[in-house]
Amino acid sequence: MASLKQTQAAGLNGRLFSGSDRAALPLDYKAALWRPKETPKMSSEDIIVVLKPRQTMNLKEIFQHGELGAAIAQYVGGDAGAALSIWPVWTQNLVVCRTQHVEAANKLTKDFDLNTGADSHPFRGHVKLNDEVCRGVIRVRADETTASLKNKVKWREGTLTFDEFGRPFIIIKDQDKKKRLTGVDALKSHILAAKAVANIIKTSLGPKGLDKMMVSSDGDVTVTNDGATILKMMDVEHQIAKLLVQLSQSQDDEIGDGTTGVVVLAGALLEQAEQLLDRGIHPIRIADGFEMAARCALAHLDQIAESFSVSRDDKEPLIQTAMTTLGSKIVNKCHRQFAEIAVEAVLSVAQLDRGDVNFELIKVEGKEGGKLEDSLLVRGVLVDKDFSHPQMPKEVRNAKLAILTCPFEPPKPKTKHKLDVSSAEEFEALRRYEREQFDLMVEQVKAAGANLVICQWGFDDEANHLLLQKQLPAVRWVGGPEIELIAIATGGRIVPRFCELSADKLGSAGVVRELSFGTTKDRMLVIEECPNSRAVTIFIRGGNKMIVEEAKRSLHDALCVIRNLVKDNRIVYGGGAAEISCALAVGAQADKISTLEQYPFRAFADALESVPLALAENSGLPPIETLTEVKARQAEENNPCLGIDCLGKGTNDMKEQHVIETLTSKKQQISLATQLVKMILKIDDIRTPDSNFA
């Protein structure tokens, strides 16, 4: 006995039961129409079986070929077939059967062919609902009450509730309460979930990819086409779908780019694996074949890769590579400018001889207002703070910075204390003591030679006024990361106590100035002309918060690509060129294999072609025709630079279009996707907390 899910699906959007008093809950599919006023009596022995075609077909067309009911009754046979009540439900493309013979119900829940003419159509006694496979039958008594049915439905993995018209319907609980799956059924359930996730973000691939709008539970809106961001913000419940989310995040953490492509490739590999499973190939043989095919593809990538020298004198190859990454982002209208910013930022902090890039020296700030073209690279530090007093100077030249992590206030005991003031004289003495302490602190700063104070903590109005009187500009409430970056850029030392302040611990900067934006009161400080030019800040402008945040994510991808090139300067060409070349190489290798592994090899080659197919489809090109043409040219000309002309520039040569991707990113995509698919193919059983009751 299975749950009510199958009958819920057949009941025309959940209208399974009818009746004026809601207590009697009979079924009616008379004449394939839903008639809530008709309530035929049901026996306690009645069994409801829902049949769904396993192939895409229209029941009306089958019904025209012959008598549908007669064909099913003939299949069941005997008295059970003669007593079978059958109704097609056209709107759901289902067949509902009612019988009192358990043998007939059991026979209907197995695969069978329905011969209705020239074709043979397989049916199965189950339906798919919410990506869950439900099988079997459910008994409903004529005297069933709402309370008893609720208990039964709760035990059978659902919850009964009523809509605004009083019609009962069933809410299916989450995946943790579903029936236990084993063997091929478990594998196909996993593949279905993975394909669903891959299809969601496939439309975001490439320069013509579409964006997704993600709305969080608290109403925050994010618009992005970054695969890792989309999957991270999705509310994913399925266990295998969560693995794809982690796959994209791993690609983002390690490489920073290719987060969409790696999920698309993994989904395509699983789709090909499903076809191999249907042909009877064992999952382990498929997984091993994919692993060997991946090694073949990685070796071919090494063969077709090119390299160029990374230097501060010739930045154009780096800029072209960054432009490829930014071409699919929201900043594509000014991707040349952003690519130059990314290259300058990375080269400023990179140690080319060691191939090392310290991302902590690159700070990315954003401010709403202005346009993307107003974004700039600051060779110094940008702090989202202003001077503590509006009458302080807006610019300080030849600044000597005292970088403090101690509060600008009188010292306090470490332990809990209480101070009693019983007279005006005592209060005056306390005020005088505080003033003396403030004077001492300011004098210590002045004596060290500082003319600008950067403080991690705040200070009260009296201290602020005293700083103004002493002509000592100050900035308060500067965050810890900014304090560290300022210290690195200016060559100063972070001072935890005033008594430790000295001239050799001061930082220096050519100019510290305050920026204002439009008519708003927002202010920011720029610390420029620092002795350590390795610390830089990228300042991004945009029309609204969503644009600024997406520009930050886009720039992060570009920075990661340039960093990867500094570490490994080998490249391949994009536009699906590398994938097509690898597919040809893997396919050629499959022709040399006489064992069963030739089938996983060919499937792997077909999966690699999913990336150029998606690029062509997202660009509005006929996908199969475009891919076939490029693939034929690659094979004929032996040119691994030919890819999909997504931008319509009239040439498929990605070398001419300067569509460049890093070899590191491409190899990582193939490796990670293959590893995940191997792991999924080796899962043949799902045990959930409620599996004992399934």
The conformation of residue 163, written as its DSSP 8-state character, comes to -
Q: Are 451 and 473 in contact (CB under 8 A)?
A: yes
Task: Say what the pLDDT of residue 677 is.
Answer: 93
- Tell me the average pLDDT across 669-683: 92
CA angle (192, 199, 259) in 5-degree steps:
110
Lowest mean pLDDT among 160-169, 383-392, 419-428: 160-169
Active-site residue, selected from the candidate residues 28, 46, 226, 645: 226
User: Would you state the structure tokens that stand for residue 329, as one six-digit string?
Assistant: 């982002």
Alpha carbon distances (Å) from 225 to 255, 326, 613, 659: 17, 11, 18, 19
Q: Is 52 helix (H, G, I), strand (E, B) or coil?
A: strand
The conformation of residue 13, written as its DSSP 8-state character, comes to T
pLDDT digits (tens, 9 = 90+) for 170-225: 444 444 444 566 777 788 888 888 888 888 889 988 888 888 888 888 888 888 88
Task: Say what the pLDDT of residue 299 is.
Answer: 94
What are the phi and psi torsion angles at 108 (to 5°)? -70, -25
**Position 212: which residue type?**
K
What's the N-to-C CA distance of the chain in angstroms? Answer: 9
- 3-class DSSP string for 469-530: HCCCCEECCCCHHHHHHHHHHHCCCEECCHHHCCHHHCEEEEEEEEEECCCCCCEEEEEECC
Q: What is the CATH number of domain 184-306+573-685?
A: 1.10.560.10
| Spatial separation of the C-alpha atoms in residues 112 and 99, rounded to whole Å | 18
- CATH 3.30.260.10 domain extents, the chain: 316-378+543-568
- Tell me the average pLDDT across 268-283: 90
Lowest mean pLDDT among 90-104, 260-274, 359-373, 652-666: 90-104
| Spatial separation of the C-alpha atoms in residues 225 and 244, rounded to whole Å | 16
Active-site residue, selected from the candidate residues 99, 109, 203, 259: 259
pLDDT digits (tens, 9 = 90+) for 499-557: 888 888 898 988 998 888 766 677 888 988 888 777 888 999 888 888 888 888 889 88
Active-site residue, selected from the candidate residues 260, 324, 490, 626: 260
What are the phi and psi torsion angles at 110 (to 5°)? -105, 160
Is 260 part of the annotated catalytic residue set?
yes
Question: In angstroms, how far is CA 429 from the centroid of its own chain?
Answer: 62
pLDDT digits (tens, 9 = 90+) for 65-75: 446 677 777 77
Residue 277 has pLDDT above 80, yes or no: yes
Task: Say what the pLDDT of residue 257 is.
Answer: 82
Active-site residue, selected from the candidate residues 252, 386, 557, 653: 557
Give 514's strand partners: 525
- Tell me the average pLDDT across 474-482: 88
Is 259 part of the annotated catalytic residue set?
yes
Q: Are 468 and 392 in contact (CB under 8 A)?
A: yes
Task: Say what the pLDDT of residue 434 is.
Answer: 80
- CATH 3.50.7.10 domain extents, the chain: 380-412+423-532
Q: Are 610 and 198 in contact (CB under 8 A)?
A: no
Residue 2 has pLDDT above 70, yes or no: no
Kindly state which CATH superfamily the domain 380-412+423-532 is placed in.
GroEL (3.50.7.10)
pTM of the model: 0.66
Is 226 part of the annotated catalytic residue set?
yes
- CATH 1.10.560.10 domain extents, the chain: 184-306+573-685
The conformation of residue 179, written as its DSSP 8-state character, comes to P
What are the phi and psi torsion angles at 622 (to 5°)? -65, 110
CATH topology of domain 316-378+543-568: GROEL; domain 2 (3.30.260)
Confidence of residue 302 (pLDDT cuts 50, 70, 90): very high
**Position 132: which residue type?**
E
Average pLDDT, the chain: 76
Give 212's strand partners: 224
pLDDT digits (tens, 9 = 90+) for 633-642: 998 988 899 9
User: Would you state the structure tokens that stand for residue 333, as one six-digit string?
Assistant: 């209208």
| Spatial separation of the C-alpha atoms in residues 575 and 486, rounded to whole Å | 41
